[in-house]
Amino acid sequence: MAGSCCINWTDDYLSCLTVLWQISNKVNLSRAAQETHHFQAQQVAFRLGDFDRINEMNDRKRLGSSHLPSKIPSLSGDWTLTWKNIVQSLRLCTISRIWSWLAILLLMISIIIVGILLENGSFLFPLIFFWTANISKKTTSRFRKDLGNWWLLHSLPLIPRRIILHGVVLPVSVTIFLAWFTLWISSSLGLSINPIIISSVPFVVAGISFSAIFDILRQSDSNMLLEGRPPDFGLVGLILSFICMGIPTSIYFLINKFSIPPLVGILATILVGGFLAISLLHLSERQFRRIG
């Protein structure tokens, strides 16, 4: 009886060895180790609440073996950063990321409905707050990811101003388009949209984005960035963003109160809004140089 059991056990053992030998050329131990490391790193990031790092690891896992390298078109210098952001945005296009843009669009529509149709200021301010916070986060997300690779970003032979501009030009352009699209829909529905509001959109969006970037760089240091932990925007960025929105709004009310020609208000909005955006860009550039 014991001999029979021993023979059966030996046969099973030999069968297992035969199966393992047949599939050995298909087993990738290095890949298995990478999967284990990826799972453990995700668990650590989840315990720390670092959801940006979790999303980044998921993107790397999803794109690691499913896409061929992209050939950079006939662009050179700092424009390669914009091309890189376009490729990443197209490859990482998911339902959640599309929904985040739709959320900004819905907030814009809600602001117009509450502000113009209902004229309810108590609901208008929270909507503007969430709209500003969403724009700040959305327009700086790619730049924050680049800051997480500070060792590479800092070594690029580009001036800080161009790095900042090319880091936000794509999301800022999309946000401006969504804002103008919302205003166009509102005008098509018969709502009266003041030209001052239309002309202030690019400067307000750019000002919000540069305010958030300034706040991010203000909180950053080289050790933090080398560890891959770029900070998020905070209270200072929100305050500067509200200043960028408040000045064109003040011009709009002054024009209506004193019956000043709209052209004067448009020119004042462009001059003041442009000055604020350029000043915030300059401050961001100085903070970028300070880190280096």
Quote the pLDDT of residue 53: 62
Q: Where are the strands (E) in 166-259, listed by range?
A: none
State residue 81's pLDDT score: 78
| Distance, CA of 75 to CA of 72 (rounded, Å) | 7
What does the chain come to in residues?
Answer: 292
pLDDT tens per residue across span 37-75: 555 655 665 566 665 665 666 656 655 544 455 555 556
DSSP 77: T
% the chain with pLDDT above 90? 35
Report how far residue 148's alpha carbon sits from residue 141's, in angstroms, rounded to the nearest whole number.
11
| CA 161 – CA 204 distance, rounded (Å) | 19
With cut-offs at 50, 70 and 90, classify the pLDDT of residue 89: confident
Mean pLDDT computed over every residue of the chain: 80
41 within 8 A of 57, measured Cβ to Cβ: yes
Predicted pLDDT at 9: 52
| Each residue's pLDDT tens digit, 147-177 | 988 988 888 888 999 999 988 999 999 999 9
Please, which pLDDT band fits residue 281 given cuts at 50, 70 and 90?
very high
Asked if pLDDT for residue 227 goes beyond 90, the answer is no
pLDDT tens digit string along 20-42?
Answer: 555 555 555 455 445 555 556 55
**Biggest CA-to-CA distance, the chain:** 108
Of 39, 44, 45, which Cα lies nearest the Cα of 61? 39
pLDDT value at position 212? 96
DSSP-assigned letter for residue 156: S
Tokens standing for residue 252: 């709009």
158 in Cβ contact with 77 (< 8 Å)? yes
User: What distance, in Å, lies between the first and last C-alpha atoms of the chain?
Assistant: 78
Q: What does residue 127 show for φ and ψ, rounded to 5 degrees? A: -65, -45
222 or 1, which is more confident? 222
- How much of the chain, in percent, has pLDDT values that exceed 70? 72
pLDDT on residue 218? 93
Phi/psi-derived region of residue 184, left when phi > 0, alpha when psi is between -120 and 50, beta in every other case: alpha
Cα–Cα distance for residue pair 232/235, rounded to 1 Å: 10
pLDDT of residue 18: 65
Backbone angles phi, psi at 259, to 5 degrees: 55, 45
